[in-house]
């Protein structure tokens, strides 16, 4: 079953540019992945929820010998994800790509899972969708399974304009992340400049993102008995009570 969310459509155009500016963010996640999933063997299965274009799936695969189920609702993002997996023999052996959105898609995911990753995606979900996602994950998890989720360091949405750029071939890609508004709508603007500095393309994308801090996530999950421990300043390690023995 393929679920769709508003966030799915957010990525249909943005997906083209997504990877250009994500590499550093993923590099920073390696230590927590190694600490959390590094001891898993090839019989274990991890879920990468909202895997995007697979930059993170590839990093995760480098930190563990487990198999990975990579769930992604956006067709644009999934196209890159599938190509990235298919292009690498080890990834193609270990990673399965599943089309769909949480929480609905979790009905179609087979357990038991040794762990899961929610990287840069929880803010796309409503509170109810997050609750549904963690409720659906719980019966799939092995005893002792852990999840790694990224969280936002501050409480409010981004209040400052941020610019990054990257050269690809003879062209320079520039992104401007605009401050979020009061309704948690964000916008990002991308420009491609040729070697003379002339802007040959300009695109603007809008979407929504609700800031999810470690404290807010802990409060959401507390009543269901999850433990939420800090991984580093941008991640938490989640453990559900109980699990499949
Ligand atoms: C910022 S990207 C991050 C992708 C990847 N996890 C990473 O860190 O590179 C957010 C991703 O979450 C996906 N997403 C949005 N809503 C989702 C949902 N309800 N279930 C699963 N994935 C979702 C989007 O399609 C998008 O690919």
Q: Is the pLDDT of residue 67 over 50?
A: yes
Indicate if ligand 1 lies below 6 Å from the C-beta of 50: yes
Q: Is 73 in the pocket of ligand 1 (CB under 6 A)?
A: yes
Centre of ligand 1 to C-alpha 120, Å, is 7
Q: 11: CA distance to ligand 1 center in Å? A: 9
CATH class entry, domain 6-154+211-239 = alpha beta
Task: Give the mean pLDDT of the chain.
Answer: 92
- Asked if residue 84 has its Cβ within 6 Å of ligand 1, the reply is no
pLDDT digits (tens, 9 = 90+) for 157-181: 556 789 999 999 999 999 999 988 8
pLDDT, one tens digit per residue, over 5-41 is 555 678 989 999 999 988 777 888 999 999 999 999 9
Mutation test of ligand 1: which of 4, 9, 12, 50 has the most ligand atoms closer than 8 Å to its C-beta? 50
Centroid of ligand 1 to alpha carbon of 170 (angstroms): 30
Q: Which atom of ligand 1 is nearest to the CA of 19?
A: 9
Ligand 1 centroid to Cα of residue 195, in Å, is 33
For ligand 1, whether the C-beta of 77 sits within 6 Å is yes
- 113-118 and 141-150 as β-strands: parallel, antiparallel, unpaired? parallel
**Could you tell me if the CB of 22 is within 6 A of ligand 1?**
yes
C-alpha closest to that of 122 among 23, 200, 1, 221: 221
Q: Is the CB of 74 under 6 A from ligand 1?
A: yes
Ligand 1: centre distance to CA 181 (Å): 21
Query: What are the φ/ψ torsions at residue 199 (nearest 5 degrees)?
Result: -75, 115
Every domain of the chain and the residues it spans: 6-154+211-239, 162-208
What is the model's pTM?
0.93
State how far the alpha carbon of 234 is from the alpha carbons of 94, 164, 215, in Å. Answer: 27, 20, 12
Contact yes or no for 67/41 (Cβ under 8 A): no
Q: Would you list the DSSP string of 138-186?
A: GGGEEEEEEEEEE--SSSSPP-S-EEEEEEETTEEEEEEEEPP-TTSEE
CA 102 to ligand 1 center in whole angstroms:
10
Residue 127 has pLDDT above 60, yes or no: yes
Hey, is 97 helix, strand or coil?
A: strand
Identify the band that residue 2 occupies on the pLDDT scale cut at 50, 70 and 90.
very low
Q: What would be the CATH architecture of the domain defined by 162-208?
A: Single Sheet (2.20)
């Amino acid at each position: 079953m393929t679920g769709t969310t508003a966030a799915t459509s957010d990525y249909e155009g943005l997906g083209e540019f997504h990877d250009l500016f994500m590499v550093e963010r993923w590099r920073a996640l390696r230590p927590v992945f190694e600490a959390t999933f590094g001891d898993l063997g090839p019989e274990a299965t991890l879920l990468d929820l909202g895997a995007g274009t697979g930059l993170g799936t590839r990093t995760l695969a480098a930190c563990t010998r487990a198999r990975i189920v990579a769930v992604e609702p956006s067709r644009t993002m999934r196209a890159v994800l599938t190509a990235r997996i298919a292009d690498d023999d080890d990834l193609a052996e270990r990673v399965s790509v599943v089309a769909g959105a949480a929480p609905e898609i979790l009905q179609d995911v087979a357990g038991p899972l040794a762990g899961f990753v929610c990287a840069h995606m929880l803010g796309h979900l409503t509170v109810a969708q997050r609750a549904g996602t963690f409720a659906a994950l719980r019966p799939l998890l092995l005893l002792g399974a852990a999840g790694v989720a990224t969280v936002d360091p501050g409480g409010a949405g981004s209040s400052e304009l941020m610019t990054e750029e990257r050269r690809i071939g003879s062209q320079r890609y520039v992104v401007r992340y605009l401050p979020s508004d009061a309704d948690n709508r964000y916008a990002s603007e991308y420009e491609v400049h040729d070697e003379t500095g002339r802007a040959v393309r300009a695109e603007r994308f809008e979407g929504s993102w609700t800031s999810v801090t470690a404290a807010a996530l802990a409060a959401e999950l507390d009543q269901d008995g999850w433990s939420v421990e800090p991984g580093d300043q941008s991640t938490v390690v989640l453990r559900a009570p109980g699990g499949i023995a």
